[in-house]
Amino acid sequence: MDIAKYIGLYLLKNQYCYVHGLGNMELRKVSAKYDGAELQPPSYEVLVTPGGSIDDSFANFIATNEQISISKAANTLREYSIQARKELAMGKEVHIPNIGKLVEKAGKVTFVTDEKFSYKPAGIPIVKNSKQLEEQKSKIQHKPAYPEPAKADSINWRTVILVAIFLAILGGGGYAVYYYFTQAIAAKEAVVPVIDTPVVAPIAAPDTMAPQIDTVDSGVPIAVDSTLENDYRMVIGNYRTRERAEIRAAILKDNGNKVEILPQDSATFFVITTVSCRIMDTTHVKDSLKKWFGYKDLMILK
């Protein structure tokens, strides 16, 4: 689709053409002037102004000639404008056939009219009676030398129907594959072992029951009772969206687990559970939770 050609056609027909992003191109008459040697006749040139009337007239003009929808014509026109601005910013010229070219100078879009461009507006007939009216209709009306666009071929409805049926079959097959894999993933995630929290850790061997010794800044050793149980928050899932974390948490809650969601940052959401055990049994508990929940990167939040 040659948008530049349609700009020229619309400009000659309406004496203006607004393209969003490029500006409003207007066809203006230049008065006769004396160049020092001879008197130059009146002529026409194209000027570009930043403002313009934003409507669907030009897009409708393109759609009518191409036999397409107005929305498709508008999208094509917008793509042409974006590409034209890129070329102008790179110092290139955007040509409008038989009329001139768009250039950018000091960040401003201007129009350079072709020296060979000649435009003669249609005359205004003066009809005095019905006989003159019939004679006027029989005359060949003036038309600009700019070539009219070729009409698009008629729509082949048989091809359209076949394409629609093919797309429907393709879409149905894609949905069936998507539904199958979705159900398979949901079934896999649903098979989660049910555990009751807090987890009761097994009794440690007698040789691990010795009290822990720690020191403070005074240098005096302090005995730590290793038989006391503390609550530990275990990360059993790490997700990049809150939605996926909530789905995982809902499945675990339906199976009787006590879990919660903890946002780590805008792109990290932890699913955690709280376990009560002794400090010496945390390693054993972590190993057990890894197997039960199938999460190898399980860790304890500080």
At the top level of CATH, which class does the domain 206-300 belong to? alpha beta
pLDDT value at residue 203 = 41
What would the mean pLDDT of 166-171 be, rounded to a whole number? 92
Three-state SS at 37: coil
Q: Which residues pair with 113 in a beta bridge?
A: 100
| pLDDT 10s digits, 64-123 | 999 999 999 999 999 999 999 999 889 899 999 988 999 998 888 889 988 888 777 766
% of the chain beyond a pLDDT of 90: 21
Handedness of CA 165, 171, 175, 176 (dihedral sign): positive
Give the number of other CB atoms < 10 A from CB of residue 236. Answer: 23
pLDDT value at residue 213 = 37
pTM: 0.39
Q: How far is CA 5 from CA 62, 116, 148, 229, in A?
A: 10, 17, 9, 82
CA dist 248 and 259 (Å) reads 10
DSSP classification of residue 280: G
CA dist 63 and 59 (Å) reads 6
Per-position DSSP letters for 186-240, written without gaps between them: HHHHH-----PSSP-PPPPPGGG-SPEEEE-TT--EEEE-TT-EEEEEEEEEEES
Assigned CATH topology for domain 3-32+39-121: HU Protein; Chain A (4.10.520)
Three-state SS at 1: coil
| pLDDT 10s digits, 198-249 | 444 444 444 444 344 343 344 444 444 556 788 888 898 989 899 998 999 8
Query: What is the strand order of the sheet 260-265 is part of?
Result: 260-265, 268-278, 229-239, 299-300
The mean-pLDDT minimum among 15-24, 58-67, 181-190, 208-217 falls in 208-217
| Phi/psi at 144 (5° precision) | -65, 150
Dig out the tokens for 46 from the structure.
């194209």
CA dist 11 and 46 (Å) reads 9
Three-state SS at 107: coil
CB 201 within 8 A of CB 275: no
- What is the average pLDDT value for the chain, to the nearest integer? 77
Which one is predicted more confidently, 252 or 133? 252
CB 277 within 8 A of CB 230: yes
Residue given tokens 């034209």 in the structure block: 84
**Domain residue extents for the chain:** 3-32+39-121, 206-300
